[in-house]
Every structure is written in structure tokens, then in C-alpha cells.
Structure 1
Amino acid sequence: MKLKLIISTYLFMLLWHNSLAQQNKMSLEQVLDLAQTKSLDAFLQKNMFQARQWEYKSYLADRLPNLSLGMTPFDYNRSFVSRYNSVNNQDEFKEQQSLYSYARMSLSQNLSFTGGTIYVDSDFGRLQNYGDTDSRSYTTTPVRIGLIQPLFAYNEQKWMSKLAPLKFAKAKKEYISNTQVINLKAIELFFNQVLASLNEQIASTNKKNSSLLYDIGKKRFEIAAIKESELLNLELNVLQANIELVKSEKLLQQACFDLNLFLDIDKEFVHKLILPENISNLSIDAGLAMDLALKNNPLLLEEKQNQIQAEMEVEKTKKESRFQATLNASYGLNQQAESLKSAYEKPLDQQKVKFSVEIPLLDWGKRRGKYKMALSDSEVIRLQAKQREMDFAQEVSQKVIDFNLQKSLVDNSKRAAIVAQKSYDVNLQLFKDGKLTVLELDDALRKQSAAQKDYLNHLKDYWLYYYSIQQYTLYDFRAKTELEKLFETRLREM
């Protein structure tokens, strides 16, 4: 029993120690998760999307019936006005005092297919006169239905019904795309710290080795086994190693600070990073990536939006260059009386019809010029959109090619780093045995450092290529799913 207890206690302490050791370590996936939830960039993108979301909600609200109440509780007027005196046959000034009150309830609905507005309203008015002729009267319109309809005019509501849903769809895709930009920034900062940490380790190792080699060199110089120039070179290596160590420590601190600041976490939290070396044999189909990019990327939705706006401007200038006509018609019930009750009894018909026309006669070609300019702008936008689509397709294709080739570069550079490390270890031992010159050892050291840095840079490029393609396509090729589906819950919560 005691042996089992000792073994259990030992295993528990071992696991506890390992968990503590992992607390200050963070993988790339953990860094990306933090970047999406805690970084200032993520907060900014979220608020920018929410602004576009409220803009779309305002558009939807404009398409619904609008109920409003307008009131003038009192409008008091005391002034002298000109009046005709029929007895004296002359105009004279009389003092007038009046109090007017008014209220109107209106229910209106915009008609997007015609550009007009239909409404139903009811109003009430009260007029109180003071002075020599004290009187009170009421006027009411219990119900009235009306239509305000521009004829042969530019219909902004029709175009907004095309633009608003497109702009909101683009805003959603832009938000998801911008989160991938955050991933790319996080990867840059992650590998900046990894590279800085590697440089610091290399510099620390170089300092230790250069000091050891210098001590060996001094002993060999005493027995004339090496030249003075070689000894001086070894001493120079020690000094340079000390300088490089200080510089690398400073750069590592800055890299750690930059990453922690970006993630908005405690500066001591992310001190060690776990290298994302476990890459899969994923190969992305270029045709599938292109189809997804053309379907999902917000850049192409923006081009479509620009084209619709250009077409809208063409129609607007075309319609405005012609005559403008408006029909305003209403039918209701109306009554006036000296008491409120009587004002609602036996209302009379009220009909109003107004047709107005404005015809441009002479504008020196101003309207025609605007129309031609809008046509030219529309054609320019169409051609620019075509060119951007071609450039975009080429960029996506190149990124897919780069990614599919990158795994081979990562594997080869990793193998090269292992070989370079073994080569340096062998050469170091040969130097200690007196079978290698200082210059040959320095060359092995440079190759070892370069191979390690090449491996990290190729690994960094692998993840940058992957998340760049994910940004273009808004598709997770590892999970084989649309990013919009992954973001649905987050978007609904906003």
C-alpha cells in the first residue's frame, strides 16, 4: 500500500509540474484564438461591422409602415393687422389675439416599386380668438388616405432595394475577411518572437562556445599550435558574441512586448511559444480555391456594388435631364364646428388632387453633360472591375501554388537544419581535437544558424500562405467548411 501511495504521489507531482511548465507556453492556435477575442483589432472590426449592421436594420425599418404623431400644442399670436373698415371705407390696424392648437396622426408606407408614398392620417385643429370678437372653432379630419407619387422620375427606393442587401452581405464577408487579416498579423508577431528567441539562443550558445574555444586557443597558442592571427580571431569571436547576445536579448524583449500588446494580455504571460511544426499533407485544389474566392471574397461584391451605383447614377442623371412630374392625391372626411363634438358629426367629403410639372427649357447642356459623364464613369468602373478580377484571380492562383509547394520547402529546410546542427557538432569536436581551423569552424557555425533561420522562415511562410488563402476564399480547408458558418453564432450575437 505504501509503495502504491508513493508511486501515485510521484505521478501526481510530475503531472502538476508539467502543467505548471505549460502555463507560460502558448501554441499558434491559442495565439490566434486570443487575437480573435482580445485584441484591439478584433474589437475594432466588431464595432465596424455593428455599424454596418445597424445601417442595414435602418434600411429594413424604412420599408415598414411608419407611424408618427405631430403636434403643435399652442401657437399664440398677438399683433396688429390691417383690416378694411366698410363703414369708413378705409384700411385700419386692429389688434388680434389668437391661440391655435393642432395634432396629426399619420401612418405611411414607402412603395419601393414605384418610388411613391401612400399614407393614412387623421388631424384635429382648434382656433381660439380673443378681443372684440371672442370665438372658438374646431376643424377635424377623422380619416384621410393619400398618395404622393413622382411620375417618370428617378426611383431611389428601387435602387436601394438592390444596394442595401448587397452592402450588408459585403459587410459580413468583410468582417470575416478582416478576422483573417488579424490572423496574419498574429502569425507575423508569433514568428517574430520565435525568431527572436532563436537568435537569443544562438547568441547565448555562441557566447558559451566562443569563450570555450578562446580558452582552448590560448593553450594551443602557448605551444605554438595555432598562429597569433587565429587566436586574435577567436578573441574577436568572443567580443562579437557578447555584442550579439545583448542585441538579441533586446530584440527578444521587444518581440515579446509586441505580441503581448497585440493580444492585450499581461506582458509576462506569453514568454515561450510552441512551434507549430505538425503540418499536414494538405494540398489545396486551385480550381476549388478560385471558385470559392469568386463566390465569397468581399472584393468582388464591392466591385458589383460599384457597378450598381454607377448604373444608378446613369439612370438618375438621365431621369433628371427630362421633365419632372408629381401626382399628389388624397381623399378624406372633413368638418368644422364651434364645438368639439359637432366637429366630428356628419363629416363632409374632402378631395385633393395636385399635378405638378417642371420642364427644363434651357440649361446650356448641363444635364446632358452630367448624363454623358455618368455613362463614361460607368464604363470605366466596369473595365476596372474586370481588371481587378483578373489580378485577383492571378493572386489567388499564385498563393495556392506557393502553399502547395511550401510543405516540401519546410520538410527540406527542417532536414537541412538537423544536418547543419550535426555538422557543427562534428566540426566543433574536430576543432577541439586540433583537426580543424577557426575559419572552418566559423563557416560551420554560420551554416548552422542560417539553416535554423531558414527553417523557421519557411514554416512561417507556410502558415501565412494558408491563412492568406483562407482570407481570399473565406473557407477553412482543414475543417472543410465555410467560415461564414463558423461565424454565424458570433454574427447573431451582435
Structure 2
Amino acid sequence: MSLISVQAQKQNLTLNQVLDRAQSNSLDAFLQKNTYLASRWEYKAYVADGLPSLSLTMNPFNYNRSFTERYNSVTELDEYKEQQSLYSYANMTLSQNIKLTGGTIYIDSDLGRLESFGASSSKSYSSTFVRVGLSQPLFGFNEFKWESKLEPLKFEIAKKEYLLNLQNVNVTAVGLFFDQVLAQLNVEMDSSNQVNAFALYEMGKKRFKIAAIRQNDLLNLELNVLKAKTSLAKSLKELQQTKFDLNVFLDYNENESKYLVLPDAVPEFIIDVNMALELAFKNHLLLLEEQQNIWEADMEVDEAKKARRFQADLVVSYGLNQESETFKNAYQDPINQQKVQLSLEIPLLDWGKRKGTYKMAQSDREVIRLSSKQKRIDFKQDVSRKVIDFNLQRELVYNAQRADEIAGKSYRVTLELFKEGKASVLQLDDALNKHDESRVQYITSLKNYWEYYYTIQMLTFYDFRSGKLLEAEFNF
């Protein structure tokens, strides 16, 4: 059975089909999607923290039987008395964090029941019909304010990172695709070379008998047969490995056989360097990550600065409560309940610890800012270099394709000359080597072209073939 007929029985896959499969079925794409979903749920949790929360706290059963110390006014002595009590409690609270000030405002209601057993049994209820309160740190570090800046930014970074990683999946898929294409090519060339080498060796034996070639040429022809067999065995092993790698990556059955088909031609366009740079700095997550690092450094400075000062917390509440021996009366004629509490913490002596923490945070912030500038310079150089290489690679693909055509024609001419006795074995070997090398070089140039393209797409978050931003194709 010929190699062509074997290929016809296999399922053909194009580069675009491999890329589509990689995005939908590869383990890498699955991991990236779930990583993004985790970030999305984290952001939703942050959004929920900014909304009012309603909670119910209950202690339905708290029984206590023990001896407790009490003062006897008759004997004027402390003595132990047995005590039995059953306590139940419930509280419902509606609270809201205040991002602007860092405080918390709440409305709550509670009900408690206490029953004592023994010689002097009793039962009573305590209720707070409604209470409004505020807990507010004064002059302190406001964590809510920084979260309101950082959390939305982190979610935007998670989106960009998801897109970036998906483009990295494309780059990996391109590499695996062309690795198998090269392995296929090597098998095809080695199979053809083995057939030709054997045919030429048989021809050489006949010509040697009539003294048309020297013994040294006949030995070289025999050596070529052995080389072809060895090379074919190696290329078959390499093809098996590349097929396995691609099948695993695309989540195909490991034993499935797919024949990869080369793209017809490279697209007829070049990428403008300035446009690519503008898109990269506008869309890439680098700038967002820099902003996050700077804001986090600013937050550390702010926290360290506020920690150097005295800490003050204000707690204010107003409510209506009542106490009674019956449940019904516990909610009748409630009286005012008021609370105002101011707590202070003043640092007196810490041996310069707070000052050191503050200065260290300032230094770290300056390092981050300087590092950010260097990262921008490196990023600009990387994008520019990739675009220049891509634009040049298109010409290299055309040159490699033309060289492949010329080398193939040269080999066929030399083969006919050898059959006519007008070319030596060395000339035939040289033409064959150049033919094989030119075919490999053409495939390699195609691989480089598409790797450059998808790398630039990864850096700019822009599909230059369709003229669309990558974000437009995803539903976040």
C-alpha cells in the first residue's frame, strides 16, 4: 500500500482545526478557564461585601448547673450556692460597610430569655426592639477604600490573563502542529529516499557488472540504502512521538492517527510597528499589573503611615429595649438604650519600629516605580522585535518555498543524469541532501511565521487578520 493511500485513510487536520480544538478541548485551555472562573467568583464575593448583609445569630439552648460564689448578707460571708439556669438568645442584624470612611453601620434586633431553677426560681425576657449603630475607626487605615480600587483592577487583570493564556495555548498548538508536520515530511522523504536508494543500488550492480561504474560508487550506493533504512526508522519513531504529543494536547485518543495538512499560503499583509505598540500598551495586562503593584505599594505606605499615629475607634448606638417576666410585656413600653464609646490606642515607645516600617514601605514603592519603567522599555523592545521578525519572516517563507521548488527540480535533473551515467554518486547525494534540507527549511519557516503571528496576537490582544480585538470574541 502506498504512502498516499495510507494518508487518504487518515483524518486530515488543518492548522485552523488544530487551533480550534486546542481552544475547546485542550487541558491547558480547561485549566485557564477554571482559573479565570475562580477569579470571577472572587470578584463577585468582593461585590457582595459592598452590599447590605443580613445575618441571624442564635443561641437556642445554654443550660448551666454549677456551684457559684455568692455573698450571704445575713451571715456576712461568701459561700457557694448551687445555680441552675437556662439561657436562650437570638439576634438579627442588617449591616452595611461604608467604603468612604471604613466604618460599618447596622440595624439589629434581639431577644433573650433567662430562666433560673432551684429554691428561688424565676423567668425573664430581655428584648431590643430595634437598635441603630455605627462603628467607625477615626484617622485609621481604611481597607475598604483600597479594596474598591484594587479589586475591580484585579478582575480586569484576570480577564486579560485569561486571554493571554489562551493565546499561549495557540502558540503551543502551532509548535506541536509543525513538529508533527516535520516528522511527517521526514517519513515521506525517508520512505521515498529508501525506495530510490534501493532502485539505484540495483541499477548500480548491473552497471558495475559491465564496468560502467567503479566499485567505490557501488559501495556508496549500498551505503545509501543502509542510511535510508536507518533514517526511516528514526523518522518513524519521531513521528509516533509527535503524534502522541499532539493527541494528548488536543485530548484525542493517544492512538488516533491524524494527517496534518499545511496552510495553503501565508496571509498577504504586514503589521505596522507603531500600530502594534499602540495596541500592546493599550490592551496588554502589563500596564494593569503595574498599576496594581503601584496601588498596593501606596496602600502599604498608607497603612504604615496611619499606624504611626494614635488609633481611635468610635462606637455609637441608639435603641429601644425592655425587660419583663413575660414575652408579651417584653415588647411593651420600651425605654431608650444609648451607647457612645470612644477607644484610643496611642503609641508611646516602640523603638522606631513603626517609623522603620513606614520608611521601608516608601522605599519598596520607589523600587516598584523604577522597575515599572524598565518593564515598559523591555516590553516595547520585545513587541518591536517580534513585529520586525514577523514582517521579515513572510519574505523568508517565500524564499524558502522557491528554494524548495528549485532544489526539487535540481534533484530530479541530477537523478536523470545519474541514470544516464552523466552524474556521479556524490553529485546525486549532494542534490538529494539539498532537496531534503530545502523542504525542511520551508516547513521551519512556516512554523516560525505562525509562531511569530500568534505571539504578536498574544502581546497586542488583537487579531490582525480579522481586524478585531480578542476581547470582542469572548463573553466574560
Q: Secondary structure at the match of 2:61?
A: strand
From 158, 180, 201, the equivalent of 1:214 is: 201
Q: Does 1:72 align with 2:59?
A: yes
- Number of the residue aligned with 1:303: 290
Tell me, what secondary structure is at the counterpart of 2:141?
coil
Asked if 1 retains the 8 angstrom alpha-carbon contact of 2:150 and 2:292, the reply is yes
Q: State the identity as a percent.
A: 59
Alignment of 1:101-116 (within 5 A): 101-116=88-103
Q: Is it true that 1:225 corresponds to 2:201 in the alignment? A: no
Q: Work out which of the residue numbers 453, 456, 459 in structure 1 matches 2:446.
A: 459
8 Å contact kept, 1:52–1:171: yes
**Conserved? CA contact 2:10–2:259, under 8 Å:** no
- Aligned pair 1:367/2:354, yes or no? yes
Partner of 1:202: 189
What TM-score comes out, normalization by structure 1 length? Answer: 0.94
Whether the 8 Å CA contact 1:151–1:325 is kept in 2: the answer is yes
Equivalent residue pairs, number: 471
- Verify the 8 A CA contact 2:10 2:258 in the aligned structure 1: no
1:355 is paired with a residue whose SS is: strand
Q: How far has the Cα of 1:268 moved from its partner?
A: 5.0
Residue 389 of structure 1: how far off its partner (Å): 1.2
Q: Paired residue for 1:440?
A: 427
Give the deviation of 1:278 after TM superposition.
2.2
TM-superposition CA deviations, 1:147-205 (whole Å, max 9, x none): 00001111111001011000000100110110010001110110000000000111111
**Contact 2:85–2:116 (CA<8 Å) still a contact in 1?**
yes
SS at match of 1:185: helix
Q: Output the aligned Cα RMSD.
A: 1.3
1:334 matched to 2:338? The reply is no
SS in 2 for 1:139: strand
TM-superposed CA distance for 1:302, in Å, is 1.4
Instruction: Tell me what 1:385 maps to.
Output: 372
Residue 271 (structure 2) pairs with residue 284 (structure 1)? yes
Contact 1:97 1:129 in 2 (8 A): yes
Deviations 1:25-58 (A, max 9, x none): 0110000000001111111111100100100000
2:309 to 305, 322, 325: 322
Name the CA distance, whole Å, in 2 between partners of 1:34 and 1:453.
26
Gaps of 5+ in 2: none
Tell me which residue corresponds to 2:24: 37
Match 2:417 to one of 409, 425, 430? 430
| Cα distance in 2 for residues equivalent to 1:150 and 1:270 | 67
Whether the 8 Å CA contact 1:128–1:137 is kept in 2: the answer is yes
Partners in 1 of 2:71 and 2:250 — Cα distance? 83
**3-state SS, counterpart of residue 340 of structure 1:** coil
Q: Which residue of 2 aligns with 1:182?
A: 169
Shift of 1:270: 4.7
**Match of 1:95?**
82
**What amino acid maps onto 2:112 in structure 1?**
G
Match of 1:487 in 2: 474
Deviation at 1:223, TM superposition (A): 2.2
> Unpaired segments of 5 or more residues in structure 1?
1-17
- Tell me the secondary structure at the aligned position of residue 328 of structure 2: helix
State TM-score, norm by structure 2: 0.97
Distance 1:146 1:306, change over 3 A: same
**Match of residue 3 from structure 1:** none
Contact 1:110 1:116 in 2 (8 A): yes
Distance 1:242 1:475 in 2: 47
1:53 and 2:1 correspond: no
Q: Give, in whole Å, the separation in 2 of the partners of 1:487 and 1:268.
A: 33
